[in-house]
Structure 1
Amino acid sequence: MKIVCFYEAYESLAFERFFSIFKKYYIDHDLVMDRGIFSDYSIINPFFSKKIDSLVKMISDDILKKEPTHVMFSVFTDNLIKIQKIAELIRSKNKNIQIIAGGPHSTTMYRKMLNTGLFDIVVRGAGEDFIRCLCNNRPLDGKGACYIKENNIVENEFSLVPEEEFVDLKEDKDLFLKNMPWNREYIHTISSFGCYFKCSYCYHSVFQKPCKVIRKNIDVFIDQLLSLKKQGFKKVVFHDDLFISDRDHIIRFLTEYKKKIALPFMCIVYPAFLDKKICRLLKEAGCVNVEIGSQVLSDRLRKKYLQRSDKSSQVINAMRLLHRYNLSFTVDHIFGIPEETLKIHERSILEYIKYRPSRIHFCYMTIYPASKINNILLDKGLIDQKKIDLCESGIVDNVNMGGSVKVNEDLKRLEIIGHLAGIFSENLIRRLIRHRVYRILPSKLALLSKYFSYSIIALIKGNEFNIELQLKRYLSSLMKMLTMLLK
């Protein structure tokens, strides 16, 4: 058995966990990566996107050169079309290779994916149990496995979080580091799985039952981080949705982290869970940047359309605490919400800048298969059924480039000013917004202003690890392309 996994642009913690299982069972495995330059979900350039067919052939050839018996894809709606083309080429050249798909899109659209005939097995939810069964030559017994038998789709039960026996699996980073040398300083990890909430625009809104949250054993996790620290890693990015939601757990974890790890780190925080003690412990443990979700400072819009349970007062209190404890933070904000007004967004940004965020991360409302926001937008006449159908087939709007809802062009102009909040003084930004000077700006500059300001902030402040990595990925890839051209 030889298993080859394909991934695009970023590090996959799920694949790293699978690699640990492969090693346990002595399964030969490898990784093929596409660096995703100008074609990942963050930055899409139409000129480079047109080159997708030539990239697909190169990727499929790279996979086939490794002579796999199985090929595994992690499928997001954004990369569905590319992966289907790769799978089609592999299938045309070797029908004996078993093609397996997992990931968010596979979990929601498994029936459509199986009906394409390109995938032998589509796995829903967490894949660890399936991987173990695959290693034991029993893939169809694995949790989450879906496949066609006698013209009918068989669906095994699935879970969105790993079974307890897999929670503390080591993330085996060797193959990703081999393919992503610029990533060598950074530990990407999570301390927990799952999310209690069902925000309408989020993947978790798809499922009827609440998703449980399960956390890693603190002692085991600290030992894993310590091992990585000894290997030379210098920075940590925690990707948990609910990093601090269990107060007793996070207090103990941060205390141990401070004693034994003490590397600078970033994390994501749900505003309602933040208090003085947690802020102090985050700061003392080495936190250099916190990402918090506001989306909009309107309780009515947040509750009615985003289906968030937190209140504007809790978001403001979280920002106040972060500012008080001198913790740099990024605040997430969404344009394209039903019944939004220019004034609501102006007030939100004016409130954010009181507390001097490192940056404001603007996104545009974007639909994904089966998310609750789809029907909300459909009922309000902001999208049509055709857009939903296109989305399910992989033709998806971009969260950074206008999203799925047509918005007032003044919002894109306001975004330009918002991006400057981390660079220029509060008074200047406040005047530009209050006098609506931004309305003279060309709205097409919004995306350019985002990446320009992000780059400046990363270079000046040195605490935006995710932006640092994007810059390093592009610089490394462009240098490699230049070297190839010169040869």
Structure 2
Amino acid sequence: MKKVLFVYPNLHAQIGFNYGISYISGLLKVHGIETKLLNINEQLGYPLDHERIKKDVLTFGPDVIGFSVLSNQHKYALEIGGEIRRYTDSPLVFGGIHPTMDPRGTLSHDVPDCVCMGEGEEAFLEVVEKGDPRGVRNMGYKKEDGIVLEPLRPYTDLSTLPFKDYDIFDFQQMIDAKDGWVGLLAGRGCPFRCTYCLNHKIIQLYRDVGHLPKHYIRRHSVDEVLTEIEYLLTRYQRIKMFIFDDDIFTFDKAWLREFAEKYPSVTKTSFVCNAHVKMFDDEVAHYLKKAGCRIVKFGLESGSDRIRRRVLGRYMSNTDIEKAFAAAHKYDLHTSAFLMIGLPCEEKQDLMDTVRLLAAIRPGRFRWSLFFPYIGTRAYEIAEREKAIDFERWKNLDNFTDETCMDLGEEVNLLVDKVKDSLCAFINGYSGDQEMEGYRAIVEEIESMDGPTWEKEKEGLRTRIGELDQKTGETGCTFYSVKYNRFMGVRSDWKDDSLSA
């Protein structure tokens, strides 16, 4: 029996379920191939420990080693792979987002023998069975005279795939580490072409070899999704919430209507999903509420219409955003807004437009990150053209919540750091509510500080904001405070602390 070892570096980052590995491993097992995973994440008890990795690799004795590589984790994949090369001759295959977006750059390093581009289930199986990437569609590899990138095969038919492999993960440990939240994927693809996202690049890669974009968006049937949910509820304990990680869960109203009819008969467990303001109305909100949705998440990214259109390729107005949030609130759905700061071409006014929009729509929660230009995306090209990327920091960042690799000029850089550090206070202060005058005073103080003063005072300001949060909470006023993690603001009327995001 052949053996495949998967390595998933996910260091100094949030715990995440790797759908790609679960799908591929499920397919390999059906074909009689044994699999194992090294899920390298310090929060799961597996830090970057080369001696431990060596012991696990040699004990398992894999025929092939497959790395799932995110751009922020590429340096760790190279480091781990380089060490593995010292004691095994097993071929190393790099797959995932980073090799798909930059296959030639990935193959320029000595560590990987080949890369798997795009959807990898069938390609990786073929390579393992054949023992050679040459002539295998979706594969890239090195030859003496250069690099060969084989054409991509058609998009995977999801109905042909076996059940995802949860056993390869210590899945109960992941459930408990995430306070009972369990990720699901009902389909693949997105109808939008946002510049910062990988979807437009993947569509172009497939289109270049004749595969039409209309086949990119695919869905498991409602019954397939419900069967998977029943399996998880039967096999694992302490599941409190499902979270659908589909880019847009709500785009197909007929599918959603069937789901709303059937889901409550399978489980009373609430769920979270992603939506888009241009595909959200009272009808969608009704179906979600009927099914048992607790939280609906929207990607806003910026409150600046200029930035959304010119930089992000998100063609929606603030009015569209306000209507979608109003519809969700009408049906008592807890709303979550995603946003990015430190975007290419962002100016002070754009940042403050984001603050003002959030203060106006009053989402149940919001989550912010620092913009990271992923190689291969149009947003990367925009940032590069603007000479706004600090490439040394870009190479060394582990995540996009702690630091930024963008350089937008001294004045904007300073405001980005202030907003990142005190966003809840900014939104409270800009709400216009009389009860928020304390926050308004602190925000005015922050806005007036120069760089050295801000660096000196920021720790003390965090303490003052925390004290004001406690005092405001005692009054019963509705306000935002940092909760669950350092990059999430939650409205004070959310009371269920057992369901942390």
Relative to the length of structure 2, the TM-score reads 0.79
- Cα pair 1:367 1:373 within 8 Å, conserved: yes
Structure 1 residue 418 corresponds to structure 2 residue 423 = yes
Structure 1 residue 432 corresponds to structure 2 residue 439 = yes
Moved more, 341-350 or 326-335: 341-350
Cα distance in structure 1, aligned partners of 2:200 and 2:99:
16
Taking a change above 3 Å as real, the CA distance of residues 117 and 351 of structure 1, as seen in their structure-2 partners, is closer
* CA positional deviation for 1:240: 0.5
Match of 2:190 in 1: 195
Paired amino acid for 1:60:
K
* CA positional deviation for 1:170: 1.6
Match of 1:471 in 2: none
Give the 3-state SS of the residue equivalent to 1:129 in structure 2.
Answer: helix
1:17 to 23, 32, 48: 23
Give the 3-state SS of the residue equivalent to 1:175 in structure 2.
Answer: coil
Paired amino acid for 1:153:
I
- Equivalent positions of 1:167-206 (< 5 A) are 169-177=162-170, 180=174, 182=176, 185-206=180-201
Match of 1:316 in 2: 322
Give the 3-state SS of the residue equivalent to 1:198 in structure 2.
Answer: coil
Give deviations 1:39-65, integer Å, cap 9, x for gaps.
Answer: 99xxxxxxxxxx95xx23432332222
Paired amino acid for 2:219:
R
2:484 to 454, 462, 471: 454
Cα distance in structure 1, aligned partners of 2:500 and 2:22:
19
Cα distance in structure 1, aligned partners of 2:176 and 2:349:
42
Give the 3-state SS of the residue equivalent to 1:68 in structure 2.
Answer: coil
Taking a change above 3 Å as real, the CA distance of residues 57 and 113 of structure 1, as seen in their structure-2 partners, is farther
Cα distance in structure 1, aligned partners of 2:427 and 2:291:
24
* CA positional deviation for 1:327: 1.1
Match of 2:259 in 1: 253
* CA positional deviation for 1:22: 2.1
Structure 1 residue 120 corresponds to structure 2 residue 120 = no
Cα distance in structure 1, aligned partners of 2:182 and 2:44:
24
- Cα pair 1:417 1:432 within 8 Å, conserved: no
CA RMSD of aligned residues (A): 3.5
- Equivalent positions of 1:120-139 (< 5 A) are 120-134=113-127, 136-137=129-130
Match of 1:162 in 2: 156
Give the 3-state SS of the residue equivalent to 2:168 in structure 1.
Answer: helix
- Equivalent positions of 1:78-477 (< 5 A) are 78-95=72-89, 97-134=90-127, 136-137=129-130, 140=133, 141-158=135-152, 161-166=155-160, 169-177=162-170, 180=174, 182=176, 185-207=180-202, 208=204, 209=207, 210=213, 212-231=216-235, 232=237, 233-383=239-389, 387=391, 391=394, 394-396=395-397, 398-406=399-407, 407-419=412-424, 427=433, 428-429=435-436, 432-433=439-440, 436-439=444-447, 442=454, 452-455=482-485, 457=490, 461-462=495-496, 467=501
* CA positional deviation for 1:257: 1.5
Question: What runs of 5+ residues in structure 1 fail to find an aligned partner?
Answer: 41-50, 468-487
Q: Percent of pairs identical after alignment? A: 20
Match of 2:473 in 1: none
Paired amino acid for 1:194:
G
- Cα pair 1:200 1:305 within 8 Å, conserved: yes
- Cα pair 2:78 2:111 within 8 Å, conserved: yes
Paired amino acid for 1:439:
E
Cα distance in structure 2, aligned partners of 1:424 and 1:454:
21
Taking a change above 3 Å as real, the CA distance of residues 328 and 464 of structure 1, as seen in their structure-2 partners, is farther
Give the 3-state SS of the residue equivalent to 1:187 in structure 2.
Answer: strand
Taking a change above 3 Å as real, the CA distance of residues 280 and 379 of structure 1, as seen in their structure-2 partners, is same
Paired amino acid for 1:432:
Y
* CA positional deviation for 1:84: 0.9
Question: What runs of 5+ residues in structure 2 fail to find an aligned partner?
Answer: 208-212, 467-479
- Cα pair 1:290 1:329 within 8 Å, conserved: yes
The ranges of structure 1 where at least 4 consecutive aligned residues each deviate by more than 6 angstroms after the TM superposition are: 421-425, 446-451
* CA positional deviation for 1:194: 1.3
Structure 1 residue 33 corresponds to structure 2 residue 28 = no
* CA positional deviation for 1:294: 0.9
Relative to the length of structure 1, the TM-score reads 0.81
Taking a change above 3 Å as real, the CA distance of residues 204 and 396 of structure 1, as seen in their structure-2 partners, is farther
Match of 1:48 in 2: none
Give the 3-state SS of the residue equivalent to 2:338 in structure 1.
Answer: strand
* CA positional deviation for 1:377: 2.1
Taking a change above 3 Å as real, the CA distance of residues 107 and 338 of structure 1, as seen in their structure-2 partners, is closer
Give the 3-state SS of the residue equivalent to 1:314 in structure 2.
Answer: helix
- Cα pair 2:285 2:331 within 8 Å, conserved: yes
- Cα pair 2:195 2:379 within 8 Å, conserved: yes
Give deviations 1:356-379, integer Å, cap 9, x for gaps.
Answer: 323221222211212211222233
* CA positional deviation for 1:223: 1.6
Cα distance in structure 2, aligned partners of 1:430 and 1:249:
46
Cα distance in structure 1, aligned partners of 2:33 and 2:44:
34
Paired amino acid for 2:342:
G
